[in-house]
């Protein structure tokens, strides 16, 4: 990455009116949160797929509950980093701006982002396994046992999208609508291998948007990027912001 790449990103954003930031686990990793993917992506010897499925919760709800309790405690201790803060500040710059995230930790909102689509749900919601009722809950640590739904009495589970589950329809439709109309799609801290979320990059590129990828390494969809910024988002996005402010 060189300053010419930053300059190209600045130029694309300077002329944009509709901007979408699509973020992944790499942004949270810069705040110290585990990604659970790739080397070392284990929790107490378990692959994340073993503690993040409906089948796992049915077989051993206390194991899964403990996993999400630990994730909540870590997320509560984490702080938004300069990437979160820059993405939040840009909501005041562009006439149309949205953050679409695969992250469940709430750090975008913690940095002040208001219009956030959470494709994979949130650590800070609970969902009833019976009637499907959801509620916000910021308890950390969690109680030892999953609470019971006030409406139907069934056990509540974390309000995240587990492996094998469909993404929330309303969130997916809103994200698709935004990326199909955007001038610039910022792809930040994601490997772009998790579908259907990664398809948003393809949709934006097909609609003619400029794709700016910000990631230490090329993602699976890096070939669609018109601009590639290689390095930590917490370092590079403030550089782009400084260039915009200087213009």
Q: What pTM was computed for the model?
A: 0.93
Query: Can you give the pLDDT at residue 57?
Result: 95
Nearest Cα neighbor of 147 from 131, 126, 132 is: 126
The residue segments making up the domain with residue 174 are 1-33+80-120+167-247
| 226 and 141 both lie in a single domain | no
pLDDT average per 10 residues of sequence, the chain (247 residues): 84 97 95 70 73 92 94 95 98 96 97 96 97 96 95 96 93 96 97 84 96 94 94 97 88
Active-site residue, selected from the candidate residues 46, 74, 84, 120: 120
| 53 and 116 both lie in a single domain | no
What total number of domains does the chain contain? 2
| 10 and 59 both lie in a single domain | no
Query: Can you give the pLDDT at residue 38?
Result: 47
Query: Can you give the pLDDT at residue 13?
Result: 98
| 188 and 202 both lie in a single domain | yes
Query: Can you give the pLDDT at residue 41?
Result: 58
Distance, CA of 230 to CA of 213 (rounded, Å): 8
Q: What is the CATH number of the domain that holds 111?
A: 3.40.50.1220
Q: What is the CATH number of the domain that holds 58?
A: 3.30.1600.10
Query: Can you give the pLDDT at residue 194?
Result: 77
| 2 and 116 both lie in a single domain | yes
Query: Can you give the pLDDT at residue 202?
Result: 95
Does the active-site annotation cover 223?
no
| 65 and 156 both lie in a single domain | yes
């Amino acid at each position: 990455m060189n300053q010419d790449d930053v300059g190209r990103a600045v130029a694309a954003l300077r002329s944009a009116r509709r901007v979408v930031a699509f973020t992944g686990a790499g942004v949270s990793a810069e705040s110290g949160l585990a990604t659970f993917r790739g080397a070392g992506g284990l929790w107490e010897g378990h692959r994340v797929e073993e503690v993040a499925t409906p089948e796992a919760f049915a077989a051993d709800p206390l194991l899964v509950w403990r996993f999400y309790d630990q994730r909540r405690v870590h997320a509560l201790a984490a702080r938004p980093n300069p990437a979160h803060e820059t993405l939040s500040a840009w909501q005041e710059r562009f006439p149309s701006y949205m953050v679409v995230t695969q992250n469940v930790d709430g750090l975008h909102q913690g940095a002040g982002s208001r219009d956030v689509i959470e494709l994979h749900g949130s650590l800070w919601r609970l969902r009833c396994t019976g009637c499907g009722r959801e509620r916000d809950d910021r308890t950390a640590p969690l109680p030892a046992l999953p609470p019971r739904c006030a409406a139907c009495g069934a056990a509540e589970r974390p309000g995240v999208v587990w492996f094998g589950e469909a993404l929330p329809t309303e969130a997916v439709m809103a994200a698709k609508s935004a990326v199909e109309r955007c001038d610039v799609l910022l792809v930040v801290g994601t490997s772009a291998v998790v579908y259907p979320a990664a398809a948003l990059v393809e949709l934006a590129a097909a609609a003619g948007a400029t794709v700016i990828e910000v990631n230490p390494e090329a993602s699976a969809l890096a070939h669609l990027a018109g601009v590639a910024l290689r390095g930590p988002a917490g370092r590079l996005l403030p550089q782009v912001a400084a260039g915009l402010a200087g213009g």
